[in-house]
Each structure stands twice: as C-alpha cells, then as structure tokens.
C-alpha cells in the first residue's frame, strides 16, 4: 500500500521546520507557484521565479505593473533583477526567470506575505526578498556575496513593465492606451516617476469615458546610487528581443529614456564591486503616491527605505505580526499535516481570501468582476478571531453596497464604487450572516448602532441594514412560502431556473430559515419583542413550507424552475440529490426527527 504521506509536492519542495514557509527547491514547477505580498492596500502577486504583478486596492482599476495572461513563456513579466559581470559581459537573474540561466542551489521560500528567492552562480551567492511594509510600496531586498578569491564588479539592473491604471484597458486597448504614459527620472531625487494622463473607470464597453488622469504616480528608486534608467520598453528591451535578453543589459548600459507615450517600463541601473568574501545588501523601492503631492510623498518614503536598518525592521515587524495572527488559534492533533494546515496555511489562506476575495490570483486575473458580495461576507469568518477590527471595517464597507430596499450588488468594485446587481436570491442574506458572526465572536453590540449610507439613498444603522436584508427576501417568496431563485443562488450554475420569477430555491429558503433563527435570538437579547415575534412567525412559515413542499421521500429537493419542474429529485434522470439542501436542512433546524 502506498504511504499516504508521500505527496506529489515533495518532488518540488517541502515545508520548513516551523511550517511557516514552503520551500521550493527547483524552479521548473508544473505551473507558477504564486504567493501574495500586501499590507491590505498595496498588493502584489509574486511567483517562485519573480513573476506576477502589483496593484493599489483594485487589480482592475489601479494596476501598477503588467502581467500577460496565457503568455509564452508563462509567468511574464514580473519583478526582475539582472546581474551582469562587468569583466565577462555575462548576465543572469538570481530568480531564474527571465533569463532561465541554470543556477546552483536555487531555493524559493514562500512565507506569510513575503517571498525570498535564493541561488548561486559562478561564485556569487544571491537572494531577493520581496515584501510590502506598512507604507504603500514594495521592497526588494537584494543580498550578494562574493565567495571567490577575485574581486567582482557587477552591473545591476532592476526591471518592471508598467500598466499604470486600468488593467483591462491596458490589455485590450494597448495601442491607444499607451499614448498617455509619462515616465521620467528626477536626477536630484534619484527617483524614476511614472503615471498616465488617461484613466478609464467606466464599467461597460463604451467610447464615452471620463476625461481624467490616473490619480497615482508610481515611484521607483534604490538604496544604491543610480547611474542609468529607462522608461521606454523598446529602448530597454530592444527590437526582436524579450525579457530574457534585454539589449540594455547585454550592452551594460541603459539609454536614460523618458517617454510621454509608448510602452512604459521602470528600469534602473546600478553598479557594485565586491571584494573576495564580501557581502553587501541593497534595496529596490517601488510604490505609489497620490498625484497632487507625489514628489514630497515619494521623496520621504524613498529616504526612509534607503536605510537598510529600516528595511530589516519592517520585515521583522511583518513576521512578528503574522506570528501574532497565528497564535490566536493553535491545535495539536496526531496528524502533522493536519496541524500544518490548521495552524498555518489555512489561516494564511483565509487571510488572503479576506483581502482579495478571489479578485486577483493566478487564475482570476482581477480584470472583470471585482469582488463578490457573498464571497466578501463569507471571508470575514477567517480573520474574525485574530483580527476582528478588519472584519468590522469590512462589514461597514459591505453595508454601503446595500440598497434602501434591502437588495445588494452581487459584485462590486471597491475603488470605483461601482457594481453589478444580478438578482441572485441568496446575496442579500450574507450581510446578516456576517454581522451575526462578528457579534457572536466579539460581543460588540454597540456595532449595531453605527450608521452607514445605503448605496442609492438614505442612511441607517447596522441593525436596520440587517433587518432590511431579511425583509427583502421575505418579500420575494413564492405563493408556497419558498424563496424565489431568480437568476441564481449559491450554486451559480443554476442560473436559468427562475428568470421568469416563478422558480424556487429550496437552499435559499433554508438559508433564510437559518438567518431567521439567528435574528430571533438577537432580538431576544436586545429585548426587541415585536421584531422577535415577527421573525419567529416567519421562521415557522418558511420551515413548514419547506417540509410540506420539498421533501422527496428520502431527501430534500434542490429547486424548482419556472415551469414547475423539480431539480434534485429521485424522479430525475440526472442530478437526483444535492448536498447543500441536506446539510442546510439540519443547520437551519428545518429537518427534524428521521429527516435530520
């Protein structure tokens, strides 16, 4: 019998002894293995070979760097460092990509919101540590050590390809969009600045757009003196070349290009001489600043992070913060892999989904849908114990995407404040669930008094927002007392059952019953007797309706469509039973006796 602990990932890496890092030991993985760097505002995806992209708050509306989807070679471009031996002219990348040079002792450590890639090449030990500090920028801390008995002089190049604003427009309308790029170098500040004079925030396909600039400037600098730079992709890369063999790197000199149109990049050139046995560190700094006062903001931040001691302090703070995050929940089981998952990586994963809500990942490019409303409400369950203040802020945000009638957006854009109302029948109920989870974990019942605006008109406290969501669903029940499914529910593939307004969702009916049970207890605690009796009666009605109309003889059906046909019945040829209506029948208290 095969040992169940012999998992396929071990061919490419393993967990560190403290289980807080996954160590990739060879670069040629089946697909890019991607990590996140973030402070909750400034965000980035970083692969095990330096690929990925950066954005500020929204991966669609405020993309900083470019990343090509379905590109060949895969995982291009990214955050690249090129090292060139001045004496021989040979160049390579310590992250393997994009030069794909055969490296010795390659290793990538994906940790909690940081990634460190290390390798050796011809007597040079090299590593790049990527992370986001408390300020809105990212740091690449580069360490180089000369292990030979000869002095070594290196030309050093850092490179990113810039998107500068709306990522989807950058992807599909690049020939026009690139007319508005600005990249220039300030000799006094030793900072490369980049922005765009045209920013699309319209959510549809239209030639009618607001005439405005992107509201940010990107700034790029280093702790080493900068001897050259390029803002033009064509100048740095050269004709008929790629990131693998840039002309500027091959020739050992940037062209000092600045642009007011064309494909934008941020490339810096530095140099460093290492004596035999000498080790030196330096940092590449890339961040965003608000356009009105970008220069003083950028100058102050660059000055701060040119100090290597500050860089080390910020990294140490990041590690301490996540050690503190993890210590809130720790378990000890006989299964070491279970402990690894529960104590570290599941907690990390839920923090990532909370921050990004599947809006930006290797698979979801962050180009179209924005954040899911239901997803964002569900994602509060991960950090509610270690970081309840995050959850409180998120629920307040989510309440502002509710309409006065209790309905909500199904998808929303946190930066541009737009969204899409699809009519999914379950979506409004996730806000009450999120509020109840927060209240039960924190006991912060004063939270219910906080006021936020509805998206369309008026303001209300959180308790009213909660009631509004429930009342909206109660007002959209069928004649049989079941929730209408409309264009869909939690099972997104059941999206054409009820578009004529007659189909019913048994699962949403059970979800509603669960929420009603919860709010009855809340009203009891708050001594709101009228509301308590109202929701008790509603619960009884919905529960009776489900048990009367939805029991198939051995299990609960899943839904009905506009024609009255049953989905999830023993009489169906396919899809006879759906798990959700069995588990939620118990969760909601709808199923009793043998049915439970």
Q: State pLDDT tens for residues 97-121.
A: 999 999 999 999 999 999 999 999 9
- Return phi, psi of residue 46, to 5°: -135, 120
CATH number at residue 395: 1.50.10.10
Quick check: is 338 in a domain?
no
User: Cα–Cα distances in Å, from 571 out to 129, 160, 502, 555, 575?
Assistant: 59, 59, 21, 12, 10
Integer angstrom CA distances of residue 361 from 35, 73, 133, 410? 9, 18, 21, 20
Looking at the structure, tell me whether residues 137 and 195 fall in a common domain.
yes
Domain boundary pick from 260, 295, 326: 326
Average pLDDT over the chain, rounded to an integer: 94
Instruction: Give the pLDDT confidence of 6-58 residue by residue, as tens digits.
Output: 566 789 999 999 999 999 999 999 999 999 999 999 999 999 999 999 999 99
**Any domain includes 354:** no
Shared domain check, 404 and 295:
no
Question: Which pLDDT belongs to residue 68?
Answer: 87
Cα–Cα distance between 302 and 534 in angstroms, integer?
59
Q: Determine, yes or no, domain membership for 563.
A: yes
Average pLDDT score over residue span 321-333: 96
Our count of domains for the chain comes to 2
Q: Are residues 519 and 449 in the same domain?
A: yes
Contact 24, 110 (CB under 8 A): yes
Residue 359 lies in a domain: no
Q: Are residues 430 and 295 in the same domain?
A: no
What is the band of 3 on the pLDDT scale with cuts at 50, 70, 90?
very low
Distances in whole angstroms, Cα of residue 112 to Cα of each of 21, 107, 164, 165, 469:
7, 16, 27, 27, 36
Alpha carbon 99 to its chain centroid, in Å, reads: 28
Cβ atoms of 125 and 144 within 8 Å: the answer is yes
234 lies in the same domain as 175: yes
Q: Which of 161, 181, 164 is nearest to 67 (CA)?
A: 161
Final residue belonging to a domain, choices 261, 296, 326: 326
Same domain, 456 and 553: yes
More confident residue, 360 or 452: 452
Our answer to whether residue 189 is catalytic in this structure is: no
The reply to whether 215 falls in a domain is yes
Tell whether the model's pLDDT for residue 209 goes beyond 80: no
Task: Provide the CATH number for the domain around residue 249.
Answer: 2.70.98.40
Q: Exposed (0-12), middle (13-18) or buried (19+): which is 149, by Cβ within 10 Å?
A: exposed
The arithmetic mean of pLDDT across residues 124-136, rounded, is 98
Tens digit of pLDDT for each residue in 392-425?
999 999 999 999 999 999 999 888 888 899 999 9
Do 407 and 307 share a structural domain?
no
Q: Are residues 85 and 230 in the same domain?
A: yes
Give the number of other CB atoms < 10 A from CB of residue 275: 11
Q: Which domain holds residue 228?
A: 8-326
**Is the pLDDT assigned to residue 206 strictly greater than 60?**
no
pLDDT > 70: what percent of the chain? 97
Q: Is 353 domain-assigned?
A: no
CA distances from 532 to 280, 415, 450, 522, 525 (A): 68, 38, 21, 8, 10
Same-domain pairing of 170 and 247: yes
| Domain presence at residue 251 | yes
- Of 293, 323, 335, 492, which one is the catalytic site residue? 492
Q: Is 343 domain-assigned?
A: no
pLDDT at position 204:
55
Residue finishing a domain among 291, 326, 361 = 326
Same domain, 51 and 157: yes
Q: Are residues 109 and 246 in the same domain?
A: yes
Q: Are residues 526 and 391 in the same domain?
A: yes
Q: How confident is the model at residue 1 (pLDDT cuts 50, 70, 90)?
A: very low
Of the pLDDT bands very low, low, confident and very high (cuts 50, 70, 90), residue 357 is confident
């Amino acid at each position: 019998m095969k040992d169940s602990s012999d998992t396929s990932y071990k061919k490419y890496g393993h967990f560190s002894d403290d289980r807080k890092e996954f160590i990739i030991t060879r670069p040629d993985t089946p697909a890019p293995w991607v990590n996140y760097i973030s402070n909750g505002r400034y965000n980035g995806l970083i692969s095990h070979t330096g690929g990925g992209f950066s954005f500020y708050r929204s991966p669609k509306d405020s993309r900083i760097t470019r990343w090509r989807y379905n590109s060949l070679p895969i995982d291009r471009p990214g955050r690249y460092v090129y090292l060139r031996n001045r004496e021989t002219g040979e160049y390579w990348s310590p992250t393997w990509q994009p030069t794909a040079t055969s490296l010795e002792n390659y290793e990538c450590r994906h940790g909690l919101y940081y990634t460190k890639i290390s390798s050796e090449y011809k007597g040079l030990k090299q590593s790049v540590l990527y992370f986001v500090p408390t300020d809105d920028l990212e740091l690449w801390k580069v360490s180089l050590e000369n292990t030979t008995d000869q002095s070594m002089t290196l030309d050093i190049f850092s490179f990113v390809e810039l998107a500068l604003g709306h990522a989807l427009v950058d992807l599909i309308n690049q020939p026009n969009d690139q007319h508005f790029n600005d990249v220039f170098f300030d000799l006094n500040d030793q900072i490369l600045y980049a922005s765009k004079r045209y920013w699309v925030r319209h959510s549809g396909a239209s030639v009618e757009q607001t005439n405005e600039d992107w509201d940010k400037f990107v700034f790029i600098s280093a702790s080493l003196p900068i001897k050259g730079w390029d803002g033009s992709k064509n100048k740095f890369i050269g004709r008929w070349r790629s990131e693998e063999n840039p002309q500027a790197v091959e020739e050992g000199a940037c062209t000092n290009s600045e642009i007011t149109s064309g494909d934008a990049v941020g490339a810096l050139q530095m140099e460093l001489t290492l004596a035999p046995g000498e080790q030196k560190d330096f940092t590449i700094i890339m961040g965003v600043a608000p356009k009105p006062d970008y220069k003083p903001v950028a100058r102050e931040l660059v000055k701060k992070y040119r100090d290597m001691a500050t860089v080390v302090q910020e990294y140490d703070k990041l590690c301490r913060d996540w050690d503190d995050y993890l210590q809130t929940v720790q378990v000890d089981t006989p299964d070491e892999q279970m402990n690894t998952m529960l104590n570290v990586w599941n907690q990390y994963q839920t923090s990532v989904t909370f921050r990004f809500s599947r809006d930006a990942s290797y698979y979801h490019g962050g180009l179209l849908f924005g954040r899911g409303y239901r997803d964002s409400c569900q994602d509060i369950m991960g950090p509610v114990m270690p970081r309840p203040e995050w959850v409180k802020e998120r629920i307040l945000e989510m309440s502002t995407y509710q309409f006065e009638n209790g309905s909500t957006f199904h998808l929303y854009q946190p930066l541009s404040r737009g969204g899409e109302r699809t009519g999914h029948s379950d979506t409004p109920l996730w806000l009450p669930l999120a509020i109840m989870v927060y209240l039960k974990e924190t006991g912060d019942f004063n939270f219910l008094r906080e006021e936020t605006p509805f998206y369309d008109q008026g303001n209300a406290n959180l308790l009213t927002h909660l009631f509004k969501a429930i009342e909206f669903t109660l007002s959209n029940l069928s004649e049989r007392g079941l929730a209408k499914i409309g264009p869909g529910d939690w099972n997104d593939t059941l999206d054409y059952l009820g578009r004529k307004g007659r189909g019913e969702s048994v699962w949403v009916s059970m979800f509603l019953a669960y929420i009603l049970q919860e709010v009855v207890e809340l009203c009891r605690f708050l001594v709101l007797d009228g509301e308590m009796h109202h929701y008790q009666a509603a619960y009884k009605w919905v529960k009776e309706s489900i048990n009367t109309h939805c029991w198939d003889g051995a299990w609960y059906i899943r839904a009905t469509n506009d024609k009255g046909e049953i989905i999830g019945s023993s009489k169906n040829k396919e899809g006879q039973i759906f798990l959700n209506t069995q588990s939620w029948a118990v969760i909601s208290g709808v199923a009793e006796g043998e049915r439970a």
